[in-house]
Amino acid sequence: MNYCKHCMIPTKETACPLCGEEHLWPVLPEDPCFAAELEGPWSDMYADLLERRQIPCLRKQVWGMDWTAILGNRLAKMSFYVPYERLSDAQELAQALFARNGTETEE
């Protein structure tokens, strides 16, 4: 598996499917990889889930600080990055969260 340091994603391709970078590195277990992008309260819930699973994460705001100042933190969109070795766990959690988000019925 290769890794694009610009986009922070693992890829099987020899060039990055997002930015086209051809100088890819073999992915390392600790390389931060894009896991999910969530808004407002969902990003807090997701951070909480990751913490409970003891998955270290990097959070990056999708919008710049200016937007946060205008719209407030509630509407901020966050990108989550986790180490490659925990990526599938993190993606599973994100999918579970999205599934809950999409349905009104709760068990």
**Do residues 82 and 90 lie in contact, with contact meaning Cβ atoms separated by under 8 Å?**
yes
Does 23 interact with Zn ion (rule: CB under 5 A)? no
Does 21 interact with Zn ion (rule: CB under 5 A)? yes
Q: What angle do CA 23, 29, 33 make, to 5 degrees?
A: 65
**Do residues 43 and 18 lie in contact, with contact meaning Cβ atoms separated by under 8 Å?**
no
Which range binds Zn ion by CB under 5 A, 10-18, 46-54, 60-68, 90-98? 10-18
Does 33 interact with Zn ion (rule: CB under 5 A)? no
Which range binds Zn ion by CB under 5 A, 2-10, 34-42, 48-56, 80-88? 2-10
Which range binds Zn ion by CB under 5 A, 3-11, 63-71, 81-89, 93-101? 3-11
Task: Give CA–CA dist 64/25, Å, rounded.
Answer: 28
- Give the β-pairing of 32-39 and 77-83: antiparallel
Residue closer to Zn ion by CB (options 21, 85) is: 21
Amino acid at 59: R
Binding site for Zn ion (CB under 5 A): 4, 6-7, 16, 18-19, 21
